[in-house]
Structures are given as structure tokens and as C-alpha cells.
Copies of this chain bind each other. A is one copy, B any other.
């Protein structure tokens, strides 16, 4: 039997970009019996909110000895990474969450804002063959955006209260990308590079059909 089916990971992105109900979100995750993972400085962020992660991953090089001591005392499972590693801290987290813990779904907080190389690691990691199979189980959430990932096939996208805009973003070459039922429709689109169809919208009471034959596509729900 698996210990956890769902998880929430807190990364070290700037607090200004966290969802406004961040503390409530991680409290609820714990209450629901989710696996709470702190990544690098994100472990400390959880502790400062009064909640201990179940697992902490990182090289922790941005933390003082005292801060690391706090994390080591509060968290039962720690995985130390090395700076010259092949996988980034986010990717090590993903490996732990999806391969070792075999989670059915994972919500990532603190993965946006600040350094763009950090964000792009988090956005593109599902492009890697090792993580691609888990793409549809993963989402990123911040103050203004909810990002979901889709593998080839037909998908039904449902509007979410508070999110006015829908951005459809192939994260690699895409074949036959079709958007139906949205404010702006897209007939079969093919390209060998990523781009972003931004500022689309759900039509009231209607779902959006997203389909494509090859590639990996992110759907970004956002508000101003």
C-alpha cells in the first residue's frame, strides 16, 4: 500500500508569487494526508508557516547552518543533492514524488517568479523523457496562474472560478493542435517549436476541447 496518493511541493520561489492562501493550502494538504515536500528554501518556508514537511530535498546552499539545523530537526526524511548534480532540486523532488512515492497528483507552489532559469527548469522538466509520463499528474500554482500539462490526445478543459484567461502553450514541437469551444478557436496547428496562444477565454458555461497528436502542451489559467 502506498503511504500517500497526493502531494504538495513547496519550492524556494519568492513569497510574493505564492498563492495568496499559501499557508491555508499547505495546512489543508497536511490535513488531507498529502505528502508535503519542501524543496531547498521551501522547507524553511513551510516551517515558518508552522508546518513540517514530510520530506525535504535540496542542496540547501542558500540556507544558513542554523536554518538547515531547523529543517534537519523538524523533517524526518531529507535528501541532500549536490550542486554539480545532473538533476536540479526540482527534478530530484519530482523523482522522489512520482517515482519513489508514486503520487497520483502533485501540486507545486513557489515554482515561479524570481530567477527565470529556476522557473524554466520547473516549466520544462516534464519535457524530459524520464518525467514526461507524469506530466498530467503535475500542476504549478502561483498568485495569478494555474499551469497544467497535457500529453497527446483529446482533453476537456473546465473553467475555474477567478481565472479569466486561458493560455495554450506547446512546450515542444506540436502536431495537430486544436482548440474548440473557447472564445478564440484554433484549427489544426503544427509547428516544430514552442509558442504561446495567450489571452484566450472560456465561454460561459462551456468547456474547451484541447487536442493534439504529438508533443506536450501546457494550459495556463490566469487572471490579471
Contact = CB atoms under 8 A, between A and B. Distances in A.
B171 A193 contact: yes
Interface of A: 16, 62, 83-84, 88, 112-118, 120-121, 123-125, 127-128, 142, 144-145, 147, 165-167, 169, 171-173, 184, 192-196, 198-199, 216, 220, 222-224
A172 B198 contact: no
A4 B216 CA distance: 40
22 contacts: A62-B224, A88-B199, A114-B224, A115-B144, A115-B165, A115-B198, A116-B144, A116-B222, A117-B169, A117-B198, A117-B199, A118-B198, A120-B220, A121-B196, A123-B196, A124-B194, A124-B195, A127-B194, A128-B195, A171-B193, A172-B194, A173-B173
A125 B166 CA distance: 18
A124 B196 contact: yes
A152 B222 CA distance: 34
A84 B4 CA distance: 45
B198 A88 contact: yes
A61 to B, nearest CB: 10
